[in-house]
Amino acid sequence: MDERLKKRIMMFYFAGVINAFLGVYVAIEGPAFLPAETVRWLALFFFGFALVDFWFPRVLKRKWKEAQERLNLQAASERK
């Protein structure tokens, strides 16, 4: 796998961990200084982005594998 793609995937995972941590922090500490509705929306926002940050690397890996298979099939058909 291309090093740039690996780096991008690792950055998505890192951002997902940060977003999940911030969501937990807001959910635990938020009610002390924010209204309940704001806490819910902020926590939902952070958890939503954490889900996207963990889902998107799977999409990138799948598309990369499909592209590699296409290239391998194309190279095999050209050899014949």
User: Quick one: three-class SS letters along the chain?
Assistant: CCHHHHHHHHHHHHHHHHHHHHHHHHHHHHHHCCCHHHHHHHHHHHHHHHHHHHHHHHHHHHHHHHHHHHHHHHHHHHHC
Query: Which pLDDT score is estimated for 80?
Result: 65
Q: Could you count the other beta carbons within 10 Å of the beta carbon of residue 62?
A: 10
pLDDT reported for residue 41: 95
pLDDT of the residue at 74: 83
pLDDT at 6 over 70: yes
The confidence score (pLDDT) of residue 10 equals 93
Instruction: For 39-61, write each residue's pLDDT tens digit.
Output: 999 999 999 999 999 999 999 99
What's the average model confidence in pLDDT over 7-19? 94
Q: What pLDDT score was predicted for residue 59? A: 92
